[in-house]
Amino acid sequence: MLNQKAYQSLSHTFQRLHRFGHLGAIAGWDQAAMMPPKGNEARAAAQAELQVLMHQLITAPQLQEQLQAAEQEDLDPAQRANLREMRREWQQANLLPAELVEAKSLAAARCEHAWRSQRQGNDWQGFLLNFREVRDLGLEVMQLLGFDFDAGRLDVSNHPFCGGVPEDVRITTRYREDDFVQSLMGIIHETGHARYEQGLPRQWVEQPVGRARSMGIHESQSLSFEMQLGRSRGFLALIAPLIRRRFGDQPAFEADNLARLYTRVEPGYIRVDADELCYPAHVILRFEIERALINGEIEAEDVPALWDEKMMAYLGIDTRGNYRDGCLQDIHWTDTFGYFPSYTLGAMYAAQYFAVLRRQEPNLDARVAAGDLSPVFDWLQANIWSQGSLWTTDELARRATGEALNPAHYRAHLEARYLG
């Protein structure tokens, strides 16, 4: 009989963590998409209690011994990869004291709620009724992109996101009266996240090795969908008739015009509205501010001035006095510090995948335009989604594309699209 006592015990602990995380994820989605305002205080307390419990579970003293003992046990390669991921999660959690976890969870919930109410009114139900057509189009495009509606939903929230659990993926979108074109790309972006979750190896769904590899890789999926597939000639040719069917047969909705619309470059205040070319500037600006804060080179009160300076330097835009569209614009700083680089890492990985994909399938655009998206889905399913966390990030990229992250592909992509 195999000796796996410590491993099996760890496996049970991480299964429990997954299940508690499931409840936290659904309650978090509810908080953003469904919860009435007076529910926030109690929800924040409940979520903080759950975070503390999960932190206790993963910092329990016996885990260290079990992690050591399991190294000597009879494990197959996938189990060994799972053990490596367990250790990684364990190490990261053990850096933080429990009081900090609770305080951070409470503060984040309060901040996020304040952000929501302070940034904008919130009557999405009313909104929805007016935007049935846009929503229907969004659902149609999600279907086209292979989202499994028996294992997920689309709803509305202030900041679009992809939440829930692999078995039940919750996408949200927001609608702007003036720009359905952008809402649609937002949905395509979140559908990329969703298909990654829905495509993760199901037999490992409750274990660390079954999770998405990293947030950079996660963004590489959303950006593969939004930037590489979604704005490609082939895809725009495919969806142009769907748009015309709902919004009228106008020249603006010809594929060529859509392509121009979706590759227009114009520096602006807002990261989430930025075009593909300006986007990295928004990310670099935030990364530099975060790094300076963490290194203690600046204090929080220095952020607005630094923001103004960098926006002028990188994008030529004057942001003085406009906090709402300046350093208050992102939900991330209420909660997730250091996340922004994931977007640009993701964009670079996505360009690298599609360089391989287009080499393997030179007729990609023609097939996509004809409604056959399988080359994209099959490649991502085989090389990324099904691989979960079996490999390190570098190894994942190497197995999929033959090399680790190489920014040359991103540069080539931008040059082809914008200087071509």
- Catalog residues that contact its own copies under the rule CB under 8 A: 16, 19-20, 22-24, 26-27, 30, 34-39, 41-43, 45-47, 49-50, 53, 148-153, 164-165, 167-168, 205-206
CA–CA distances in Å: residue 292 to residues 280, 286, 295, 312? 18, 10, 5, 18
Q: How far is the CB of 238 from its own copies (least distance, A)?
A: 26
Catalytic one of 112, 190, 206, 219: 190
152, containing H or E segment:
strand 152-156
β-bridge mates for residue 171, sequence order:
154, 162
Burial environment of residue 203 by CB neighbours within 10 A (0 to 12, 13 to 18, 19 or more) = exposed
Q: How far is the CB of 26 from its own copies (least distance, A)?
A: 5
Nearer to its own copies among residue 209 and residue 348 (C-beta):
209
Q: How far is the CB of 8 from its own copies (least distance, A)?
A: 17
Residue (of 106, 20, 83) closest to 55 by Cα position: 20
Collapsing DSSP states into helix, strand and coil, what is residue 180?
Answer: helix
In which residue are the tokens 């508690």 written?
Answer: 20
- State yes or no: is 190 an active-site residue: yes
Q: How far is the CB of 81 from its own copies (least distance, A)?
A: 22
Nearer to its own copies among residue 34 and residue 294 (C-beta):
34
Residue 228 corresponds to which tokens in the numbers above?
A: 């590489």
Residue 35 corresponds to which tokens in the numbers above?
A: 């919860």
Nearer to its own copies among residue 149 and residue 418 (C-beta):
149
Largest Cα separation within the chain, whole Å, is: 70
Nearer to its own copies among residue 26 and residue 328 (C-beta):
26
Nearer to its own copies among residue 42 and residue 366 (C-beta):
42
Collapsing DSSP states into helix, strand and coil, what is residue 153?
Answer: strand
Q: How far is the CB of 43 from its own copies (least distance, A)?
A: 7
Residues 403, 393 contacting (CB under 8 angstroms): no
List residues with catalytic annotation.
Answer: 190
